[in-house]
Structure 1
Amino acid sequence: MKKNYLLGMALMASLSFNSCDKEVVYVQDGNGVESVADGAQIITLQVENGGDGLATRAGRPLYSAEAKQDIQNVKLWICDNTGKKVVYVKEISNWNTDGSTVYTTGGHGRQTTIELKGADKLAAGAYKIYAVGYSNSSAYTLTNVTNVTKESAFNENMVLPCSTAGEEIFAGQMELTVEKGKGFKEPVVLNRQVAGAFAYVKDIPFMEGAKYLKLVASAQNQSLVLGNFNSFDLTGNGSGNANVKYVVNGTNGKSGSETYVISTIDLNKWFTAIKDEDGDNLIDAGENWKNPCRPSSSPAAGTYPTFQKGSAFGGEFVIPFAHVDGKQTLTLQLTKENGDSLRSWKVNLGSTDVQLNQAITYWNSNWDSTITDTSANTYSLVRNHLYGIGTRMNDEADPEQPGVDPDPDPENPNDKPESLNNKQELVLKVNDNWEVIHGMELD
């Protein structure tokens, strides 16, 4: 996935957002730091292109590691040097329609320019700038975002309760020094604030009564914390660099020992019947397979995701959570309709994954706490990292053939579902431009 950017800022800089690649949002004009002779104060907000029109709920669905986003609103605050008092607010709605225009400098996406004039111009001094990009009818309780107005107090560690597993949202900050009589440009990057997890599989075992494939986790956080931002323009989708951060910005953990289902694949939506007529102990594919995302009408190519024939896919954005000692973090389960498990696979990080042995910062009423993942079985799901079983880099299985669900041969290294036939271990790949791509294994 490539990151998304929200760029901006001439007055004060630029902001940038991101999404299903590295999903980063930037505020920047793409030209770097630059003096403005007449002291003009301009902010250019830029968000990378995204959106496929398929969302049936708030936010966009997760279909791959592709870098994209589909936010509709961006809100920006400029605070005094303490970062507590708001001195300027700007809200932009209809971002993807008439709220912005296309840009191609320093990335690609949509942008808008804000010029501070008259009473809105900033006096010389130090400031802190914050921005959040979010969806209409969001699953988050956004009062801590929408209710912050000029002159009100500002809390950079906003806590947003969520009614679902998670939803894509972007945020970031920058510090700004205004010199008397001078203007300037400087980037502010808004990165994706959630993790993502998906299962892209094929060769599904046939078992009597099989109905669902479920990706389940050892923990669940129910609120997101906007803070401790990684406001860097990460280059490359999932490639990682010196600015990669490992942060668990979730809180309000679900109590009890109940497993948390991240995503559920209904096999009846992918196969016309759950059967094994050829006797190979696998659910029949071939003419028995169907793409559940293909509209029943005559859809335009490229307006819906395609998948390798015979595969099944399920994925969701996830509020980050820390690992639970002694518990398998992710498990893939084949279940009956009533939830009874017929078979399961442990989902592990690769033994050489870059996340192992990293100090991971997590929210514990402040950002002073750390945890370390030392086991490939018990690991955290961290912010702006994508954890995937199988390889799926784009919403289109083959971007050069939009609207075509390809046969498995020849194999495409960028779109390769994981076989569940005779496997005891799943491989996860974590992609952050998403910042880093982690390879996972099925056990």
Structure 2
Amino acid sequence: MKKYFISGAMLAGLMSLAACSNDEGVVADNNGAEQQFTITLASSGDRATRAAADRTLESEAAGQSIEKVTLVVRSQDDGADKNKVVYIHTLDNWNGTATNYDTNGHGKKLTFTIPKADKLGAGSYVVTAVGYNEGNYNLKWPAKGDVLDKNITATTQADAEAKEVFAGEQQFSVKDGKKIEGTDASKAIQSVDVTLHRQVAGAYGYFTSIPAKIGDTEVASIRMVSRSKNTVLTFGSFNSSFTTTTDANVMYMVNGSVPATKTAKFLNGDEANVLFSAQITDWFPGGDKNKDGVYDKKDTNWTNPYTTGSYLKGSVFASNFIVPFSATQGKSTLELQLLDATGNVLYAWPVKLDASNAQVGKTGETASADLFGAGTAMGFAETADVFSLFRNHIYSIGIHKQRTSTTDPETPVPGTDQPTDLSKIQNVVIRVNDNWEALHHMSIDE
């Protein structure tokens, strides 16, 4: 799981929005005239803080690509003003203005100042922090003075795929307008720790030895279809306790809602959505070069269509970020398909989680739309073929870790690069990387 940390130090005390690294940005008192925050967005184990507006899912590495961080602070004191927005601030051009740091992780930090007129008085508060890229989602922010009763949401742009977005929240208090008190009384300087988690799921497929024909019909594309697909993310029911990759703290949460329009079908005719797809000619221009019936490393016309990332010769890769969705009881969740040039399904494999996967047998939850509302347990347990795609989990067929590099693109790096051989029509595995919250293995039925 990738973890992102916000730490804030106020002029008269310290409010830190941090995560696993516990880095605390302490700043000067400044005589109480203003309050300063140091915002730190950090990642443990991955230096890839990208300035680009979008990050494509080109491996299971948990990178980061964030332009803006918005903080929404609400009062928590009982009364008519409970959940009233008392401060809202957006840090623009995060990658361009924040400074790098390399302490207990890797990331960026930035100090900004709350004007004296906006200083937080004595009382209890909660801060919600969202890291995002402009234009990836429709985000409707509250205004200062609004009294909220619902969590903040993000809606995918029309006909657009999901993109990465991060969020988290935590409560804190201000004493006499000076001392900031958080949840860890053992710290000499009180702080509030909040973890920003990835709010989407991820899925990818990494294949080789793809059949060139089914019968007499040429295979033109490969795709993964799903029973469901959602368009709205709810930033609530956060997994604030998850700061290390241990099974005890993994959360099986669906924070997606509002189904997308169906655009595909399962082989049996059931309506479906496309999770990811790849055109064969993007990887093998001109088709099956050596006419041996499979697309693989023996075809000398193989090319990598991506400008970044490296893949084994003879492979095909496809991926997407996904707004999480719940399983449909009694209906298989995913199907891998081969299609002809007109979009007809030529062959399909049912996709399953490995029976030993931790998700099998779990009962997931759906995030509440209400502020601080508890997640609602789903009515049935996850099974090998009927399973949800949960927040901050990545589901993969094959193994492709971060930007695999090799001097010999025909030779896999053990444990790093392992495309699934589709010519054998055998089980295929979906994994979950510990840079995400969990990594799930899936298989294709013969």
Normalized against structure 1, the TM-score is what?
A: 0.84
Q: Which of 386, 392, 409 does residue 384 from structure 1 map onto? A: 392
Question: Any stretches of 5+ residues in structure 1 without a counterpart?
Answer: 17-25, 295-303
Which position in structure 2 is the counterpart of 1:301?
none
Q: CA deviation at 1:324?
A: 0.8
Which position in structure 1 is the counterpart of 2:200?
194
| Partners of 1:391 and 1:28 in 2: CA distance | 28
Which position in structure 2 is the counterpart of 1:3?
2
Q: Which has the larger radius of gyration?
A: 2
Which position in structure 1 is the counterpart of 2:185?
none
Q: CA deviation at 1:186?
A: 2.6
| Contact 2:9/2:25 (8 A) holds in 1 | no
Q: Is 1:79 matched with 2:78?
A: no
Q: Which of 14, 23, 26 does residue 30 from structure 1 map onto? A: 23
Which position in structure 1 is the counterpart of 2:218?
209
The 5 Å alignment of 1:404-423 reads: 406-423=408-425
Q: Which residue identity lines up with residue 332 of structure 2 in the other structure?
A: Q
Q: Which of 231, 243, 257 does residue 240 from structure 2 map onto? A: 231
Q: CA deviation at 1:250?
A: 0.7
Cα distance change of structure 1 residues 14 and 42 upon mapping to structure 2, 3 Å threshold: same
| Partners of 2:4 and 2:281 in 1: CA distance | 37
| Partners of 1:35 and 1:358 in 2: CA distance | 48
Q: CA deviation at 1:10?
A: 2.2
| Partners of 2:143 and 2:271 in 1: CA distance | 40
Q: Which of 305, 309, 320 does residue 292 from structure 1 map onto? A: 305
| Contact 1:8/1:46 (8 A) holds in 2 | yes
Q: CA deviation at 1:150?
A: 1.7
Which position in structure 1 is the counterpart of 2:230?
221
Which position in structure 1 is the counterpart of 2:343?
339
Which position in structure 2 is the counterpart of 1:247?
253
Q: In percent, how many aligned pairs have the same letter? A: 33
Cα distance change of structure 1 residues 274 and 130 upon mapping to structure 2, 3 Å threshold: same
Q: Which residue identity lines up with residue 442 of structure 1 in the other structure?
A: I
Q: Is 1:101 matched with 2:99?
A: yes
| Partners of 2:368 and 2:191 in 1: CA distance | 35
The 5 Å alignment of 1:20-419 reads: 26=19, 30-31=23-24, 41-48=35-42, 49-50=47-48, 59-81=54-76, 84-98=83-97, 100-116=98-114, 118-138=116-136, 140-142=137-139, 144-145=140-141, 148-162=142-156, 163=158, 164-180=160-176, 181-183=178-180, 184-207=190-213, 208-232=217-241, 234-235=243-244, 239-254=245-260, 257-275=270-288, 277=290, 279=292, 281-286=293-298, 287-294=300-307, 304-363=308-367, 367-371=374-378, 372-394=380-402, 396-398=403-405, 406-419=408-421
Q: Which residue identity lines up with residue 120 of structure 1 in the other structure?
A: D
Q: Which residue identity lines up with residue 190 of structure 1 in the other structure?
A: L
- Which secondary structure does the structure 2 equivalent of 1:129 belong to? strand
- Which secondary structure does the structure 2 equivalent of 1:14 belong to? coil
Residues 303-331 of structure 1: per-residue CA shift (max 9 Å, x gap): x1111111111000000000011222111
How many residue pairs align between the two structures?
Answer: 406
Q: Which residue identity lines up with residue 283 of structure 1 in the other structure?
A: Y
Which position in structure 2 is the counterpart of 1:434?
436
Cα distance change of structure 1 residues 384 and 272 upon mapping to structure 2, 3 Å threshold: same
Cα distance change of structure 1 residues 231 and 413 upon mapping to structure 2, 3 Å threshold: same
| Partners of 2:27 and 2:365 in 1: CA distance | 34
Q: Which residue identity lines up with residue 102 of structure 1 in the other structure?
A: N
Q: Which residue identity lines up with residue 210 of structure 1 in the other structure?
A: V
| Contact 1:429/1:437 (8 A) holds in 2 | yes
Q: CA deviation at 1:360?
A: 1.0
Q: CA deviation at 1:149?
A: 2.3
Question: Any stretches of 5+ residues in structure 2 without a counterpart?
Answer: 181-189, 263-269
| Partners of 2:29 and 2:87 in 1: CA distance | 20
- Which secondary structure does the structure 1 equivalent of 2:117 belong to? helix
RMSD of Structure 2 on Structure 1 (CA): 2.8
Which position in structure 1 is the counterpart of 2:187?
none
Q: CA deviation at 1:221?
A: 1.2
Normalized against structure 2, the TM-score is what?
A: 0.83
- Which secondary structure does the structure 2 equivalent of 1:123 belong to? coil
